[in-house]
Structure 1
Amino acid sequence: MPSKEDKSTKRLIVEGEQDKRVIPYLIEANGIPWKKGNEPVYIQPRGGNDFSNYWISARLKEAGLTHLGLILDADDDSSTSWQRMRDACLPSIRDIPQEIPETGLIHITNTGIKFGIWIMPDNRLKGMLETFLAYMISDENQPLWKYAQEVVEESKNRGAEFISFHHDKACIYTWLAWQNPPGRQLHNAIEERILHPQHPNAQVFVNWFRNLYDL
C-alpha cells in the first residue's frame, strides 16, 4: 500500500520532530483544516540542516510532486544559512534569487514545481523555531517573558549548563514552566492558546505557508 508520502503532492521538509509537531497546530489554528489521515501537506523531518544539492535534486524529481517547502533554522546567522541553502539549490534551480525575501521564498521551478524556503525565525534574524514561537507571546505576558529571559541569563552565572546556542530554547521553556498548566509542550501551548497562533507576529509565516501550498 502506498505511504502518505508516496500519495502526497505537497511536501514540507523540516529540521526535526519538534517542527513536525508544531506546524500543523499553528496552521490549523489559523483556519486551515489539518485532519489526521487527510493532511493538506506531508511533513517530513530531515534530522538536521544537511540539505545537500544531491538531496534537493532528488526531492525535486520525485514522482507526483507539485509543491515542496524547506524550513531550516537561521542558527547564528540567517545570511549564512540562506547562502548555504541557495548554493545547494543552484544546480537544480538556476534562477533562484540572490536574497531570500523577508516574507519567505516562493519560486516556480522550470519544471513547474512550487518551491519555498523559510529560515526560522523570520528570514532575517538569528535563531530557531523557539525564537519564532516567542513571537506568539501575548502583549500582556511580555513582562513575564522579559523576566524569564532575565532569569535564564542569571542562571548561567549560577551554573546552568545549557549551551549558548540553546538560549532561546531555555527562555521559552522557562516561560512555559510558569503558565497554567506549567510546562506544556510547544504544540500543546499553541493548541491551548498559551501561545497565540493568530498573533500578528506569526502571520507572515502563516501567509507564506498558505501561499506556497495554495491553501
Structure 2
Amino acid sequence: MSKKSKPHQLLVEGKNDRHVIWSLCNQYQLPEEFSVEVPVAEGTEGIEVLLDGLPLKLKEKNLKILGIVVDADRDLVARWQGLRDRLRESGYQDVPNASPNQGWVYSAPELPKVGVWLMPNNQLPGMLEDFVACLIPTDDKLLPKAQSVLQEIEQSNINRYTLIHRPKALIHTWLAWQEKPGMPMGQAITAKVLNSNSQVAIAFIEWLKLLFNLP
C-alpha cells in the first residue's frame, strides 16, 4: 500500500506542520499508525489547496480516518465555516457551528471518521508558530526580549515582515538565540528546547489519540 493510500491520514498545510507534529508524536511515543500529508496542486501547497481537495480526499476508497490541521489565521470563525461547509457538502450533517475548544472528532455511518484542529488552540486566531510559541518554557527569559525587539523595530517601521507574520518572526528570533541558533521548530521539540509537556501540546496529543484510536 502506498503512503498516499493509507487508511489513516492527517492533512496539514505545509512541511513545517508535518515536522512539528511528528516531533511531538515522537516525544509522546505515539505509534506511527497514520501518515501526515501535505496536499499539493500545481506545485503549490497551503490552505486553499487543502480545502479545495477535501471533498475528493474524503471519497478515497481506502480512507477510514481523516484528520485536518489548519491555521485559524486572522478569523477563527471564517476558517471553521469554510471547513464546515465542505464537510457538510461531503455528507457530514452534524458539524457544529463553532470550533470545539479541544478540537473536533466525529464518526458518521458509512463515512470516514473525521477530526479538525485549528492552530493554535481552536479558540484563538493564529497559526502553527503561535502553537509552537506556547511550547516555550514559562520561565524563559529570552521570550520577553524577543517580543521587545520586534516591538521596537515595528515602532521604527523598519520591519520587513507583515504583521500577520509576526508569530513567525517571533518564534524564529527566539530560536536564533538558543545554544544551537536557528534550529527548525520540529528539531527544537526533539532537542527539548521547546516544552512538549505544555498544556496545548497535551491537548493536541489527546485529540490525535481520540481521532486515531491510539492508546
Instruction: Say whether the fold is shared (TM-score over 0.5).
Output: yes
Alignment check: 8 A CA contact 2:12 2:70 kept = yes
RMSD: 1.5
Query: Which residue number corresponds to residue 22 of structure 1?
Result: 20
Unaligned 5+ runs, structure 1: 34-38
Which region of structure 1 is more displaced relative to structure 2, 8-17 or 94-103?
94-103
Q: Deviations over 1:160-190 (max 9, x none)?
A: 2011111000001111111111111111101
What is the aligned partner in structure 2 of residue 81 from structure 1? 79
Matched, 1:168 2:167: yes
Conserved 8 A contact 2:146-2:173: yes
User: 1:90-169 to 2 correspondence within 5 Å?
Assistant: 90-92=88-90, 93-141=92-140, 143-156=141-154, 157=156, 159-169=158-168
SS at match of 1:203: helix
Unpaired stretches in structure 2, ≥5 consecutive residues: 40-44
Shift of 1:112: 4.4
Partner of 1:198: 197
CA contact (8 A) 2:70 2:117 kept: yes
SS in 2 for 1:138: coil
If the length of structure 1 is used for normalisation, what is the TM-score? 0.90
> Counterpart of 1:36?
none
CA deviation profile, 1:84-134 (whole Å, cap 9, x unmatched): 111121111122122221000101123142100110001111110000011
- Check conservation: 2:72, 2:122, Cα contact below 8 A: yes
- Partner of 2:135: helix, strand, or coil? coil
The separation in 1 between residues aligned to 2:18 and 2:137, in whole angstroms, is: 23
Task: Say whether the 8 Å CA contact 2:121–2:200 is kept in structure 1.
Answer: no
TM-score in terms of structure 2 length: 0.90
Q: Distance in 2 between matches of 1:31 and 1:135?
A: 21
Provide the rounded CA distance (Å) in 1 between the counterparts of 2:53 and 2:95.
17
The whole-number CA distance in structure 2 between the counterparts of 1:158 and 1:56 is 40
Q: How far apart are the structure 2 equivalents of 1:155 and 1:135?
A: 23
- Which amino acid is the alignment partner of residue 33 of structure 2? P
Cα distance, 1:10 vs structure 2: 0.4
Aligned residues between the structures: 206
- Give the direction of change, closer, same or farther, for the CA distance of 1:97–1:158 in structure 2 (3 Å limit): closer
Structure 1 counterpart SS, 2:100: coil
d(CA) in 2 for partners of 1:146 and 1:192?
22
Identity %: 34
Structure 1 segments of 4 or more deviating over 4 A? none
Amino acid at match of 2:164: F
* C-alpha distance in structure 1 between counterparts of 2:111 and 2:158, whole Å: 53
Describe the superposition over 1:4-25 as per-residue Cα deviations: whole angstroms up to 9, x where unpaired.
Answer: 222x110011011111111111
Does the 8 A contact of 2:71 with 2:118 survive in 1? Answer: yes
